[in-house]
Structure 1
Amino acid sequence: MAFDTIIRNGLWFDGTGATAEVRDLGITDGRVAAVSATPLDADGCDDVVDASGKWVVPGFLDIHTHYDIEVLEGAGLAESVRHGVTTVALGSCSISTIHADPVVAGDLFGRVEAIPRDHVIASLEANRTWNTGEEYIRAIEDRALGPNVCSFIGHSDIRASTMGLERSTDDDIKPTKAELRRMERLLVEALDAGFIGLSTNQLRFDKLDGELCRSRTLPSTYSKFLEKRRLKGIVRRRGRILQSAPDIKMPLDIAFQALGSIGLRRKPLKTTLLAAADVKSNPVSPYVLQGLATVANRLGANVRFQHLPVPFTVYADGIDFVIFEEFGSGEVAMHLTDCIERDELMRDEDYRRRFRKDYDQKFGIRVWHRDFFDAEITDCPDPSVIGKSFGQVGLDRGGIHPVDAFLDLVLEHGRKLRWYTTISNHRPEILRKFATADFIQLGFSDAGAHLRNMAFYNMGLRLLKHVRDAERAGTPFMSVERAVHRLSGEIADWYDIDAGHLRVGDRADLTILDPEHLDESLDGYHEDQVAQYGGLSRMVNRNNETVRAVFISGKRVIRDGEPTDILGVRRTGSFLRAGRPTPPPTASRAGVQERSSAVAR
């Protein structure tokens, strides 16, 4: 047999958790054609890769992204692919681009996910050619898709497109019978096309952008019991997945959603909930989530909590960040788009008094720990404050309240004031427990969103570093094989998509890693411009020496950490339809895509 590519002498992980072994891999027509303990015959093979001393692992799956907009004009999705991710899930948090018109989509994505609203609108106006889920899949595969994608259909998407944004965000209005039937029909249509399930959202601090319904919560938060029951019933009967963000301010909502997965005389509702985190503001939350998931699954549920397996460190420019949406005074400031109005608000003593009261309220369930002594300034026109916390700045300025120190600096420097804090996942021992827990799914990167606030594109690499460091220190908590399985095959099997494994016959989606460079470089801070967002500088990760190569459908799309000339030019990825095997792009199809992309440029 003549192979298209041979990968020689690498430590091969098959994505099942089985013991890794040194093997040669032969790739033909986008799939693994041979796995051999002896050298494969290289006659007729023009691409032989020496992977001696390297790990050959299945491409990682990122189960929670917001690439729905970026994929339309930057389909290579290089920021994820260059870190070993070969499959991404779209349509998270109840928002997708299947049915909502461009302006409504701009309102859904702009503020919640911090993706420039004007670009959302312009991109959809220029690129939208679909009206159904099936047409959306064809449109995605007509692009020079880099990684594979799968997608949820968003509850807010189908609700807003059915009822209109204004009616769908009015708590006094329920959908008519005809509107409810249409939402059901759109959901069934998407599932028939191969979407992996329905995403919904009950978080009350996820707010709309725009002018028409600005600062209202997402449409799915206004749905009532009957609507949710009927939509969930469809997902349950079809054996697909419900992704949900419960209202964290109502603990019973989290419990009801977990327990709602229980089947009794019917199928369990496969449910993935946002999110398991070791939150600084509530140190007992990991134990509560573990207990809840354990009880629910023992009673017959099939529920998983998504978890980011690294410290959740976030950055902000001034006051523009979603964490301020979770309390009243912060929400008031975020509602204002006019800088002059916002500045006047922050100067007002009554407003400051309210902000201080919200800040000092330490009880209750929340995301942000509200401790300005735990928030370090990294950039500011005033160099004297760089490296200090806002609390320390307050002490330096005569002992003023940390809130006043923060607001004063925002007034002085606006978005030129850059700072960071770690909100959760700060205790290594809890990270280790979550990494091994059966009720946990490793994901929740939010790739493609919050462009100035966070960068977890390399979360899989950072997990492998954590595992390997513990192993070297003589305190192992999980094998490398198990960690690779959790990032690949385990997720693919649960979502029922054709990905995540590296055995004969599997898709040749793989990464070659240098384990000696699972090092401190993974934690470095980097920024890069996004051409399609008008040159906006976003946070990224850069680990070029760690990722030696990435192959998707047997095509090398990353070499030594950098994109090759085919990524984003020639289609290598596919839309993975739930429950169905998905063939890699054929050579003729990929060639057509390469030519069409060149014409488009």
Structure 2
Amino acid sequence: MKGRESFAPLVAGLALLLLSACQTTFKPPQRIAADYLIEDGLVYDGSGTAPRIADIAVRSDRIVFIGDATDDQFADANRIDASGLIVAPGFIDPHTHADNQLASADPEQRQNKAFAFQGVTTVLTGNDGYGSSEIAKMATGARQQGIGTNVAYLAGFGYIRKSVIGDDDRAPSEAELSRMKDMMTRAMCEGAFGLSAGLYYTPQNFARTAEVVELAKIAGRKGGYYDSHLRDESSYNIGLIGAVSEAIAIGRQSGAAVHISHIKALGPAVWGQSSRIISLVNTAREKGQSITADQYPWAASGTRISNALVPRWALDGGLAGLRERLENAAMLDRIRSEMAGNLVRRGGAEKLLITGGLGDAAIEIGQTLAELAARSGSDPLDVAIDILKTGDARVASFNMHADDIRAFARQDWVVTGSDGSTGHPRKYASFPKAYRDLVVDGKSMSLSRFIRRSSGQTADIVGLTDRGYLKVGMAADIVIFDSESFAPRATYEQPRLLSTGVRHLFVNGQPVISGGQSTGALPGSPLLKETQC
């Protein structure tokens, strides 16, 4: 509306000519009931097409109008001046660890502000194979308590396997595999969007490929997808190339679409392998497979000392099993020797920044493993082992090369994701950082493409049929941000700083951010896949 007055005389004259020629009577636009009218924003609809200046009307939880509104068409609506701002579908994060936050007894936690201030309106949870298969129970809790953003669920391979087998390094019996399949079927019937796995992590790493395929078949038959934290993102076991090949094979054998979580080449041993990975994926896609990936824009991954350094066999039985082995001198020597090799894979002790303590480990946060060792006069491996004897530690592991990050980001099958977890800035800042790196500073991506890879394309991958696009009838999940000030603030030293630039954020038609401030509202919904069972 505003900002388009200069065209009024031309439009009026054209209208008179048309009326005269057609000898018809002009009918004013029909009034439409709406709660909010977003005026004069530069609208990107999530499809990747060019933007346009338009008005958007919202009633209840739906978009009811997109176009050029007249002055009295929405007379009763609350008006938001979006002139000079970007209006886009709310972003969708396909890989988060927001499960505990959204289930918290604390409403402040359930607002999910770390994601909302990035423009995210929907998060996927249950990633890396950790997600509970009790989908209906989680959805009921979310509805009853209220949540700030929407949430969609993946059933975790690790959760299911551990529920049936425990932490043991063995294959399931026929009866146990049947129970696992029953759990997966129930999860899909209760609304899970697919199966997630973290085959690098104990005890999931004990599973053979065929075991994973059996559960992925269930996801595929019911229209879901297989979400994979690869068995190896470096050179720990089967190697990065082998792990990508395994994920593709699981999709081919199960019939499920494959989504690779936080695609990366982790550590100097595999730097430069991005080109081979891209070729593998493109070849599979050309043969008709659905293969996609998400990526966070950080050079450091987030993990734990146990995951980064301890050999997988030593974690049979979990951390309790590891601690028993550390008491055996021969076992300790073997574990320490293999940890030394893994430390090299991670780029050395100076590349591991301690971001949080776990369990009873007394540890100083904000120091690298090398700095802790120097201060205590110890070897870095001994410091790590001492930590593991009483607890564990979160670490930011600086082990990715900029060339690989850029190569993956350019692929049209890669979308934005955060892998947002405690102690790493990616939880608070991945979407604005990707925007800055790719659109503003790097100038390697158009804003239309960035918005598509953060909204509509992700909705298509997950199977969210009424999210990710600005269209009449779609859910009113809308972000309005300032292209100049949309930026990350969180750092490795201060990982919990909220991002800037989001002026307004609507979740299901209700504002959770207004004028750049949180409203405290909890309008989010558990989004459940409609599956015939």
Name the TM tier (shorter chain): 0.7 to 0.9
Q: Give the corresponding residue for 1:165.
A: 166
Q: Give the corresponding residue for 1:32.
A: 63
- TM-fit CA distance, 1:43: 5.1
Aligned equivalents of 1:573, 1:246: Cα separation in 2: 30
- TM-fit CA distance, 1:555: 0.7
Distance 1:294 1:415, change over 3 A: same
Aligned equivalents of 2:182, 2:162: Cα separation in 1: 14
Would you say the 8 A contact 1:15–1:500 is kept in 2?
yes
Aligned equivalents of 2:81, 2:171: Cα separation in 1: 64
Is it true that 1:502 corresponds to 2:470 in the alignment? yes
Would you say the 8 A contact 1:259–1:296 is kept in 2?
no
Is it true that 1:550 corresponds to 2:530 in the alignment? no
Is it true that 1:235 corresponds to 2:207 in the alignment? no
Is it true that 1:255 corresponds to 2:245 in the alignment? yes
Spell out, residue by residue over 1:151-177, the C-alpha distance to the aligned partner (whole angstroms, 9 max, x if none): 11122333343x3536xx34165241x
- Structure 1 unpaired stretches of 5+: 100-132, 208-216, 380-384, 528-538, 581-601
Q: Give the corresponding residue for 1:292.
A: 280
Aligned equivalents of 1:18, 1:12: Cα separation in 2: 10
Q: Alignment partner for residue 180 of structure 1, among 177, 182, 186?
A: 177
Aligned equivalents of 2:102, 2:213: Cα separation in 1: 32
Q: Alignment partner for residue 428 of structure 2, among 451, 457, 470?
A: 457
Q: Give the corresponding residue for 2:399.
A: 423
Would you say the 8 A contact 1:294–1:439 is kept in 2?
no
- TM-fit CA distance, 1:17: 0.6
Residue identity in the other structure for 1:78 = K
Q: Give the corresponding residue for 2:8.
A: none
1:459-538 equivalent positions in 2, closer than 5 A: 459-470=430-441, 476-497=443-464, 498-519=466-487, 521-524=488-491
Spell out, residue by residue over 1:185-212, the C-alpha distance to the aligned partner (whole angstroms, 9 max, x if none): 3322322333211122321xx24xxxxx
Q: Give the corresponding residue for 1:577.
A: 528
- TM-fit CA distance, 1:181: 3.4
Distance 1:522 1:352, change over 3 A: farther
Q: What's the TM-score once normalised by structure 2's chain length?
A: 0.77
Q: Alignment partner for residue 359 of structure 1, among 340, 353, 375?
A: 340
Is it true that 1:142 corresponds to 2:144 in the alignment? yes
Q: Alignment partner for residue 76 of structure 1, among 111, 119, 144?
A: 111
User: Secondary structure at 1:70's aligned position in 2?
Assistant: helix
- TM-fit CA distance, 1:61: 0.7
Aligned equivalents of 1:387, 1:574: Cα separation in 2: 36
- TM-fit CA distance, 1:314: 4.6
Residue identity in the other structure for 1:93 = D
- TM-fit CA distance, 1:222: 3.9
User: How many residues of Structure 1 are paired with residues of Structure 2 in the alignment?
Assistant: 481
Spell out, residue by residue over 1:395-449, the C-alpha distance to the aligned partner (whole angstroms, 9 max, x if none): 8999x86657x669979xx99999855222x41x433332220332322x233x4
Would you say the 8 A contact 1:95–1:155 is kept in 2?
yes
Q: What's the TM-score once normalised by structure 1's chain length?
A: 0.69
Residue identity in the other structure for 1:555 = Q
Distance 1:372 1:170, change over 3 A: closer
Spell out, residue by residue over 1:352-373, the C-alpha distance to the aligned partner (whole angstroms, 9 max, x if none): 897477435788xx5x22x234
Aligned equivalents of 2:306, 2:515: Cα separation in 1: 34
Would you say the 8 A contact 1:9–1:24 is kept in 2?
yes
Q: Give the corresponding residue for 1:597.
A: none
Would you say the 8 A contact 1:8–1:39 is kept in 2?
no
Would you say the 8 A contact 2:34–2:76 is kept in 1?
yes
Residue identity in the other structure for 1:80 = F
Is it true that 1:434 corresponds to 2:418 in the alignment? no
Aligned equivalents of 1:146, 1:67: Cα separation in 2: 12
Residue identity in the other structure for 1:85 = V
Distance 1:199 1:481, change over 3 A: same
Spell out, residue by residue over 1:11-45, the C-alpha distance to the aligned partner (whole angstroms, 9 max, x if none): 11101111112222111112111122355547543
Distance 1:455 1:321, change over 3 A: farther
Residue identity in the other structure for 1:277 = K
Across the aligned residues of Structure 1 and Structure 2, the Cα RMSD in angstroms comes to 4.0
Q: Give the corresponding residue for 1:210.
A: none
Is it true that 1:446 corresponds to 2:414 in the alignment? no
Distance 1:417 1:134, change over 3 A: closer
Is it true that 1:273 corresponds to 2:260 in the alignment? yes
Would you say the 8 A contact 1:6–1:42 is kept in 2?
no
Would you say the 8 A contact 2:44–2:448 is kept in 1?
yes
Would you say the 8 A contact 1:59–1:511 is kept in 2?
yes
User: Secondary structure at 2:399's aligned position in 1?
Assistant: strand
Aligned equivalents of 2:178, 2:453: Cα separation in 1: 38
Spell out, residue by residue over 1:283-307, the C-alpha distance to the aligned partner (whole angstroms, 9 max, x if none): 1231221122122212221112332
Aligned equivalents of 2:289, 2:38: Cα separation in 1: 41
Aligned equivalents of 2:169, 2:330: Cα separation in 1: 33
Residue identity in the other structure for 2:267 = K
- TM-fit CA distance, 1:271: 0.9
Is it true that 1:311 corresponds to 2:299 in the alignment? yes
Spell out, residue by residue over 1:31-85, the C-alpha distance to the aligned partner (whole angstroms, 9 max, x if none): 1111223555475435211122111111111111222222222432222122211
* Percent of paired sites with the same residue: 23
Would you say the 8 A contact 1:66–1:92 is kept in 2?
yes
Spell out, residue by residue over 1:195-238, the C-alpha distance to the aligned partner (whole angstroms, 9 max, x if none): 211122321xx24xxxxxxxxx24xx444565434322222222
Would you say the 8 A contact 1:290–1:439 is kept in 2?
no
Spell out, residue by residue over 1:109-162, the C-alpha distance to the aligned partner (whole angstroms, 9 max, x if none): xxxxxxxxxxxxxxxxxxxxxxxx44543333222122111111122333343x
Would you say the 8 A contact 1:89–1:150 is kept in 2?
yes
Would you say the 8 A contact 1:325–1:331 is kept in 2?
no
Q: Give the corresponding residue for 2:15.
A: none
Would you say the 8 A contact 1:60–1:500 is kept in 2?
yes
Would you say the 8 A contact 1:276–1:289 is kept in 2?
no
- TM-fit CA distance, 1:335: 5.2
Larger Rg: 2
User: Secondary structure at 2:440's aligned position in 1?
Assistant: helix
Would you say the 8 A contact 1:276–1:286 is kept in 2?
no
Is it true that 1:566 corresponds to 2:521 in the alignment? yes
Q: Give the corresponding residue for 2:33.
A: 2
Q: Give the corresponding residue for 1:324.
A: 309
Stretch deviating more after TM superposition (250-259 or 49-58): 250-259
Residue identity in the other structure for 1:242 = Y
User: Secondary structure at 1:558's aligned position in 2?
Assistant: strand
Stretch deviating more after TM superposition (486-495 or 191-200): 191-200
Would you say the 8 A contact 1:315–1:452 is kept in 2?
no
